[in-house]
Each structure stands twice: as C-alpha cells, then as structure tokens.
Structure 1
Amino acid sequence: MTDKKIWLVTGAGRGMGTDIARAALDAGHAVVATGRNPDRVTAGLGAHEDLLAVALDVTDPASVQAAVDTAVQRYGRIDVLVNNAGNFYAGFFEELAPTDFRAQIETNLFGPLNVTRAVLPVMRAQRSGLVVTFSSTAGITGGEFTSAYAASKFALEGWNESLTPEIAPFGIRTMLVEPGFFRTELLTEDSTRYPEPTIDDYAERTRQTVTAWHGMNGQQGGDPAKLAHALVQLTDSDTPPLRWPAGADAVAAFEQKAHQLLAQADAHRDLSSSLAHDAAPASA
C-alpha cells in the first residue's frame, strides 16, 4: 500500500463533484470521475494521468456496475467512494407531483444505494475502504418547500447509520457529509426543479421562496473548493468522522437540532416513561 488511494466520485461533471475530484487529484490520489456525460467530466477537470472519466447514471444499476467494473479493471481497487450526485425537487408537498417526489427519492436515495451496493464487494474483498455520502443539513432538519429533498436526505442518514456497523467488521468505514449553503450549482435550473403553482393558498409563498432562492444562487457563503480540500484531509485521517457538518451554518444546524431533541425528550418525560406494562402481582 502507498499513500495514493483510488477514488470513485459520482456527479463529477459539475459543481461540488468537480471540486472534490480536483482536490483528490491535487492530493496525489487517482480518481475515477463519473457522470452522465464523461466528456463533460473531462472538460471540467482537464487531462491528468491519474484521472479516468467514466459514464455513470446513478439511477441505472447496469450503468453503475459497468462503471465500477471499469474502475477495478484500471486500478484493481476502490479505496474511497464519494456518493455526491443528486438533484433538488423543490416545492410545497401538496403541489409536488407524486412522480416528482418519487424521482427525488430515486436519485438522492436509491442512487447512492445503487453505487454503494456495486462498490461494497470490491471493498470487502480488499478488507478496507471508505464510503462518503453527501447528505445535507436538510437531512438533519426539515423545512418548508423542501419536503421531497429532506425526505431523501433523512432516508440517507438512517441508511448510513444502519450500514456503518454492518460493514465495519470488513475494515470499511462510512462518513456522512452535511453541507450548509455552498456556492454550487444546486439552485441552478440544471439541478433544481420548481412545481407549477396549482393551489392558490400556496401561490404567494411559492413566489416569495422562488424569488429568494434565485437571489441566493451564486451568493451562498460556503466555498466548495475549501470543502473539497477539507474532505480530502478528513478521508486521509485515521478516524474520519461518522458525520461531518460542513460549514458554520451546518454546525449551527446541528446544535439547534440537538437542543430541540433534548427539549422534546424532556417535554413529556413523565408521560413517556409511564408506558411500561404494570408489574405482575406477586404470587401467594
């Protein structure tokens, strides 16, 4: 083993995925950078002797397996998987079409499941590996206009927490990344879909929210390049965290959620603690 690791990054054709792939290359690692259009991946990252651009659609298990097979054929192993690909179906729950809600879950939840399912046999065979999955502060705290997105990220959190002890005996670790607001392409038309207003009760709030988010696009406080380099630093550590809040706003969201959960646990403590079966009467 050398310090060079083999990374497989999904959604590397733009946004955060490009920054992550570039940071891993800068750190001396080899990167299998994947996306629906590998030419776009290459255009974004440029030529590099340790870069392999591969087509991968996270919603297509056959495409996923083909990409993983290509990575193993080239490098013989996969040390770090970064489940980064995702999108955003925004809108109030009643106005989100069921097909859109399912499409959100298909990409943001089943996409990482598909890729991880294909990579785990490789990591089990080599008895080592790190599975990094991008969640969001929306996976910690829900909010209006984000019900589909938050549902997909909350599901990722529960899946990852359950997966962690299952694969730990094989030397495989996991890390959830929960970014706050970063200046990525998430709020662009390529990544975010808004529903057509159909319910008058939501019309004004929808207009205000979409206007605010359009104004936020490109002005978010977080620097994705800094996140990418910090991520590489954490993956190279001996003990990568199980959860990493990325950004000061993410740390604040963690703290707020922790306080809320403690307050909710205390609010009806006596009632909550009184629900056990009564003790059986002592026999004569």
Structure 2
Amino acid sequence: MPTMPTIFVCGATGAQGGAMVNNLLKSNMKAQAIARDPSSKASQALQSAGATLFKGDFDDEDSLRQGMKGCTGLFLNLKPDLTDISRELVQAKRILSVAKEVGIQQVVYSSGFAVPEPQRLRYWDPNSFVANILLSKQAVEAEVRSAGFKTWTIIRPGSFMANMLPPHVHMMYAGLVDKGEFATALTPETVLPMIDTNDIGKFGAAAFGDPDRFHEKEFEIASELLGMDDLVKSLSRATGRHLKVNYLAEDEVDRQKATNPFLAGQQFARDMVQFVDMDEVRAWGIPLGTFEQFLEREKDRVAQAYCV
C-alpha cells in the first residue's frame, strides 16, 4: 500500500498556506509546518484540523529539519520582506537545502504572475521596488528548477481575493474599510486575475496527489477575471455599504508611486491579465471559485471587517 504523502507547508498560518493545509487534509494527505507561536489562534485551528506544527521559523535550520522530518513534499510559499528583499531568496535556498537533506522528493512553489517575463509589462521598470520583488521570485524559481528534486511544479497565482480583508486590505486598498473608498493606480478598463487562496490549495493538493502529471509544469492560475468596479460592487452588496473606487490621474500616479509601492504595484497590474489563459487553467479539471463565493464563505470576516 502506497505511503500517504506528508507535506511540509510554508506559511501555514497565513491565507495561502492555511488553504494548502486544509486541501491536503481533505485529500487524505498529512500536513506539517512550523510556526513562531504554535499556541496562537491560527496555529491551534490548524492543529485541531489535523496538521502537525512545530515551533520555529525560516531562519532556523534546526526547526526546519524538525518540521520537515518524515515529509515527502514541500509547499514553498514565501512572503517578500519589504525591508529586505534579498531575504526571500536566502530563506528559499535554506528551505530547499534542508528539504533535500531530509529526503523530500517533491516541491510545489507558489510564485507570482509575470515572474518569468516581467519585461512584457507595459510599466516595467527594472530599477523599481516592485521589480525587485518580481526578480527575487524569478531567482527562487531558478533555484527550484535546479535543486534536483525528483518532481517539481511552479504555480503563479493572481491577485488574492483575501487581500480585500484584514490585515492586507488596510495597505492594499487604504481607505476602503474606514472611509468606504480608496484611490488606485488601476484604471476602469483594468481586468484583474483574481484568485481565491482555496483554489491555490486545490491546485497544490492535486500536484502532490499526482506528482508525475504536474512535474516540470509552470503555469498561472486565476479563479475569475474581474475589474475593480466589479469587486467593489460585490463588496457593497455583501456589506450593505456604498463602497467606491477612485481612479487616480496618470500624473498623480507618477507623483506618488516612488513613495507608495502599492500604487506602483497597481500600475504594474494594469496588464497583468495577459499572462493567464482561463481555458488553460480550466483544462486542469480543478473546480474554480468565484469572488461571490469567497464573500459568502468569509461572510463573518467580511461583516466584522466592514462594520464601522
């Protein structure tokens, strides 16, 4: 009888990692992770669901070894450190090295849109802060390909629906919760490749369940293509509030983006949709969610966040 896959999940207490853990457990696989505080509410919820957590962090090799012991796969999911962009690559190398050392056979890396070919973006600036983030992930992708694992996969998710909720909504869409409106460098014509983190979990679990099918596959994933007006209208219906988006003039975007990396990122995102083919995403046969379904599933968090 084949051994049940056991996956080490990076960032398990976050939206993406948590979705990965939940989908692994639903697929009768095991999940292990490390957390700075295994007694936190998020950590306790994962353990109650069936995951195994150890105390540690990505800068501590010993805790990584403990967390990965007995694992067959690695879900690599790293958040850029906005104060030190180089840290993401350093951590990735450390995690991949320990994974090889303990005998992990498979890696699924969750990267990002445009990472292989960012120069295709209309507003690409190789010297910008946002570019440094994309180039860091590009370097991590190269590490995954060359690390020598038996099987590997790179998935590139779009814009997270979860960013419309705390804590990230206050940075990504400043003013939307407290004032009911926010300013953006996106345009009314911008179409965003939105992703429910639960769908990332579905793709990851599918890859760990069928390593050969997903070996050396690199692809973008989105749940639904939506404009910002569509997102705000859905949020307005879900919250009972009249929410509004203000599209900044181009000269205002240029004036602010040097000191506001989120505006710069939104300008980059204007033509991000070019990287995804929804027919190809659906061809994997994995059911995709919608923003309306996300809001319904997270209705308690939505109500709590937008009740002012």
How does the TM-score come out when normalised to structure 2?
0.56
Is 2:84 the partner of 1:112? no
| Separation in 1, partners of 2:89, 2:46 | 26
Alignment of 1:1-284 (within 5 A): 2=2, 4-40=4-40, 41-49=42-50, 51-58=51-58, 60=59, 63-72=60-69, 77-87=70-80, 89=82, 100=83, 103-106=84-87, 108-123=88-103, 129-140=105-116, 141=118, 147-161=128-142, 163-165=144-146, 167=148, 172-185=150-163, 189=167, 211-212=183-184, 221-237=194-210, 238-240=212-214, 241-247=216-222, 252-253=274-275
Q: State the shift of 1:212 in Å.
A: 2.5
Q: State the shift of 1:105 in Å.
A: 2.2
Q: State the shift of 1:152 in Å.
A: 3.7
Q: State the shift of 1:30 in Å.
A: 0.9
| Separation in 2, partners of 1:26, 1:35 | 21
| Separation in 2, partners of 1:20, 1:254 | 21
User: Partner letter of residue 106 of structure 2?
Assistant: L
Listed one character per residue, the Cα deviations across residues 4-43 of structure 1 (whole Å, up to 9, x for unaligned) are 1010011111211111111111111111122332233423
User: Partner letter of residue 239 of structure 1?
Assistant: R
SS of the residue corresponding to residue 47 of structure 1 reads helix
User: How much is the aligned-residue C-alpha RMSD, in angstroms?
Assistant: 3.5
| Separation in 2, partners of 1:104, 1:191 | 21
Q: Which 5+ residue runs of structure 1 have no aligned equivalent?
A: 90-99, 195-209, 256-284
User: Partner letter of residue 154 of structure 2?
Assistant: L
Listed one character per residue, the Cα deviations across residues 107-155 of structure 1 (whole Å, up to 9, x for unaligned) are x2222211111111122xxxx6111222111424265699445424433
Contact 1:32 1:53 in 2 (8 A): yes
SS of the residue corresponding to residue 118 of structure 1 reads helix
User: Partner letter of residue 142 of structure 2?
Assistant: E
Q: State the shift of 1:251 in Å.
A: 6.8
How does the TM-score come out when normalised to structure 1?
0.61
Which has more radius of gyration? 1
| Separation in 2, partners of 1:44, 1:145 | 41
From the superposition, tell whether residues 56 and 220 of structure 1 become closer, same or farther in structure 2 (CA, over 3 Å).
farther
Listed one character per residue, the Cα deviations across residues 191-250 of structure 1 (whole Å, up to 9, x for unaligned) are 9979xxxxxxxxxxxxxxx83289xxxx98321112211221123222214312111667
Residue in 1 that maps onto 2:240 = none
Identical columns (%): 14
More helix by share: 1
